[in-house]
Amino acid sequence: MRVGQPSIPPGGEYYVFRDNVHNLIAVEDADEGTALRRVLRTQEVQRLRHIHQNGLASLVYPGMEHSRFAHSLGTFAIARKIIHNLGERQPGKENGMPMVLQLDHRRDYPAFCFAALLHDIGHSPFSHVWEEFMDEEYGEYPDKPQGRLHEAIGHRILEDNHSELGKLLGTENKKYPSFGPRLRDDILRLLKGCYHIPYLNALLAGDLDVDRLDFVARDTRMAGVSYGFHELDWIIRSLRIVRSQGRSGESPSWLLAVDGRKGLFTLVQFLRARANMYRQVYFHKTVRAAVWTFRSILLRAIKLGTDAVSPPFSTFLKNPTGFPLLSYTDLDDGDVITSIKNWARNHDDPILARLSSELLERTLFKPIVVSESVYNNLEHLEDHIKQKIAARLNCTVDESHYFYALDKRSTSFVNTIRPLWLLKSGKYGPVCESLEEFWNREMGQQKTPWQYLLIAHREVVSDLQQLVRRLDTTRYGTVRTQGGQQEVAEPFADDLPDSPTNEYRILGRLGKGTFKETFVASQMDLHKPTLVALKRLDAAPNALPADVRVFRLMDDRVESITWTAVAHQEGTELWIVEDLWDGTLKDVVLEQGPITDLRQLLEMTYQLFSGLAYLAKKNIRHTDLKPDNCGFVRHEDRVLFKVGDFGCASTASATLPENEGSLGTPKTRPPEIFTRTGISCVSDVWSLAATIYSVSMRRYPFADFDVDLGDLMSDKRRKHVEYTRANIEQLTTEFREAVNSRLPSMTALRRIHSMG
């Protein structure tokens, strides 16, 4: 009996597996069939029943609970069909094919099928999740040769005469004549890609190998997605062994090809299904978040050198790079999950206990999709991210790396090392074209797509989303109108100006006004880059008269004032550097609604008026107080509210400027400035009070909260100013009545303050 051509024996035992992809997979009790049954019963193969094929994907796709054993058995079934099909259709010596490249059913058939069955015996717990962790955290280490970890472990198992599988395959046995050192050596050469028949190597590791043909069909079915590929028999029938004429200077060679005249459509369907599986399942953003939650648990347990329920797992945690490769055969998913359950309930370390509980409860990290440029900037700002996380989660900066990750993933759709060929009709007969050439030309896949993610603990996601928005130079500005409707404004330009000095690196654009552009920048400290707001002002005589003296007067570090300094001045161009907020008061209202918590409202009022008092002592007028220009910063367990954005500030506190741009926004402008009867520091008091009123009531004294009055030249702004100036007394009376009827009394605020 040949492995590649199964037949039911007249008597004796045989296995028949019911498989949800291949229906019935029979392993008969005769010759190689008997040997296969012995291989299937070894500890190393049975262990694959306890390792998930797709790691943690079942947390997103509940049906993906299948094991590496089912996949290995399916891979064997496909290999058996393919080797039988190729054996029947292979060219003979009359067609010029050398005998050494022709398939021998006594040697090549069993070697190829056994190699397919055993290609994954080296997988660690949770399959590629574990392998990715080891490769990215530790790279190459003493007991791991170059290459993928599961391949190195699998090779070691087969080479070791003390492993159950290695001993079985490597020993001459009269009862099992198929076994012996030559068979084991052939299996290893196939798995290492150096078998003497090259096209068999491509069938074990190539674009259309037996591994991919099974897992794409199996995983799509188990995930419940609709873009799967299940026409295996048709594509197997399309495989051919063909002779290449060779290019200039090359000798003819025998290649594995798909007959494009019959199987091209099915091949394209398969490749698209595989690409979709990577995009939608394997690299699904929540699957990636689960992976990083798991990796943080492993990192913390290794850092602590903690004990696990499983003794082999404990040994690994204490010395991961010194863990012998053969010891992985004592580990499976159950060892790891049981230990995580124990840590969640009993461990003294709050970080390990917290992460373990969250993985078990599926309270996973949250992913944020970012662009390539934002991702690159985030890599530059990891120290800044760590400080934010430490402040939010009350951990040290060194511990913050357990709660976030930068993740980028890509897959190549075509193999350039062991290419697959297409057999096509040419002008003078059949010709071969590489799949890579066809795919790039016909399918437009010349550029490999990448996915960029910022993954973080749920409690810090809102902080990091704010950072991402500030770094995104391709985003569109939005104008919010009354009734919650949004209008898309002009996009911010992608191109960024050069930094005015070598002290800063501009990362993204925060906004653009009539006389001012604001950028997010990093202060170029080699050890700890700090984010700042960098503002470019046009100080031309007919534009905004920026008062440089203001920034030189504010030389103190005051909690309720945004630190501001002149970064650079040249001609009419003035650059100002300021602390970067976590957000503005306007951001809070637009994203979360009005601030109605009385304690928070009281604390905000106290801090902002403290900042205004500081300005008054320095004889400085802000002149443009509004929710956009008052921000907040999370500092440890506190929220600090700050007065900032001093682009219109002035030291001429009693002088009423003629320039409309220096009079502040009409939304919070005091009555005496509307009527142009005077100006003083009291005007700032009105503007700040109107600001606090607006964020608690979502309405300005004389305007809707969502109305856009930023453009100095807009007709809407001009009409609003004219109407308010003409009706200022009536509008002021109505505003005072609204304050008395809607806001809590000062008596209530004092009571709340005394209670807190």
Residues 358-411: tens digit of each pLDDT: 999 999 999 999 988 889 889 888 888 898 899 888 899 999 999 999 999 987
- 454: tokens are 């910022």
Residues 6+ apart with CB under 8 A from 725: 674, 675
Q: pLDDT digit string (tens) for 66-111? A: 999 999 999 999 999 999 999 888 888 777 788 888 898 889 999 9
Residue 252: which pLDDT band, with cuts at 50, 70 and 90? low
- 637: tokens are 């367990």
- 528: tokens are 């700890």
Residue 141 is classified by DSSP as: B
Q: Could you tell me how many residues make up the chain?
A: 756
**Burial class of residue 478, CB neighbours in 10 A (0-12, 13-18, 19+):** exposed
- pLDDT for position 756: 40
- pLDDT for position 228: 63
Amino acid at 341: K
- Report CA-CA distances (Å) from 639 to 400, 501, 533, 671, 721: 20, 32, 19, 32, 35
Cα–Cα distance, 59 to 180 (Å, whole number): 43
Identify each DSSP E strand in 571-700 by its residue range.
573-579, 583-584, 630-635, 638-643
* Residue 312 contacts residue 133 (beta carbons within 8 Å): no
Q: pLDDT digit string (tens) for 186-212? A: 999 999 999 999 889 989 988 889 999
Residues 6+ apart with CB under 8 A from 698: 589, 593, 594, 705
Instruction: Give per-residue burial for 728-752: e unless 16+ CB within 10 Å, then b.
Output: beebbeebeeeeeeeeeeeeebeee
Checking if the pLDDT of 545 tops 60, the result is: no
Q: Helix count (H) and strand count (E) of the chain?
A: 28, 19
Percentage of the chain lying above the pLDDT 90 cut: 36
Checking if the pLDDT of 655 tops 90, the result is: no
Q: pLDDT digit string (tens) for 555-606? A: 778 889 998 888 888 877 888 888 888 888 998 888 788 888 888 888 999 9
Cα–Cα distance, 701 to 692 (Å, whole number): 11
Q: CA 617, 619, 625: angle at the middle one, nearest 5? A: 95
Cα–Cα distance, 597 to 382 (Å, whole number): 33
Segment 599-604 long-range contacts (CB within 8 Å, at least 24 positions apart): 599/752, 599/756, 600/639, 601/692, 601/696, 602/749, 602/752, 602/753, 603/639, 603/641, 604/641, 604/692, 604/695
Most confident of 360-364, 426-430, 473-477: 360-364
Residue 480: which pLDDT band, with cuts at 50, 70 and 90? very low
Rounded to 5 degrees, φ, ψ at 532 are -140, 165
Q: pLDDT digit string (tens) for 602-646? A: 899 999 999 999 999 988 888 889 998 999 987 766 789 999 988
Residue 355 is classified by DSSP as: H
Cα–Cα distance, 146 to 508 (Å, whole number): 40
Q: CA 296, 297, 303: angle at the middle one, nearest 5? A: 85
Most confident of 310-319, 511-520, 666-675: 310-319
- pLDDT for position 337: 97
**Burial class of residue 550, CB neighbours in 10 A (0-12, 13-18, 19+):** buried
Segment 102-110 long-range contacts (CB within 8 Å, at least 24 positions apart): 103/197, 105/2, 105/4, 105/5, 107/182, 107/186, 108/83, 108/186, 108/197, 108/200, 109/2, 109/3, 109/4, 109/32, 109/83, 109/84, 110/3, 110/32, 110/35, 110/178, 110/183
Helix (H, G, I), strand (E, B), or coil: what is residue 698? Answer: coil
Q: pLDDT digit string (tens) for 38-48? A: 899 999 999 99
Instruction: Output Rg (C-alpha) for the chain, integer angstroms.
Output: 35
Report which secondary-structure segment, H or E, holds 296.
helix 285-304
Checking if the pLDDT of 230 tops 70, the result is: no
Residue 220: which pLDDT band, with cuts at 50, 70 and 90? very high
Residue 473: which pLDDT band, with cuts at 50, 70 and 90? low
- 318: tokens are 């204490």
For the chain, the average pLDDT equals: 83
Residue 675: which pLDDT band, with cuts at 50, 70 and 90? confident
* Residue 276 contacts residue 227 (beta carbons within 8 Å): yes
Longest dimension (CA), the chain: 112
- pLDDT for position 246: 54
- 602: tokens are 């009281």
> Taking Cα atoms as reference points, which of 610, 611, 525 lies closest to residue 561?
611
pTM: 0.79
- Report CA-CA distances (Å) from 299 to 116, 303, 316, 345, 455: 33, 6, 12, 18, 16
DSSP β-ladder status, 23-28 and 14-19? antiparallel
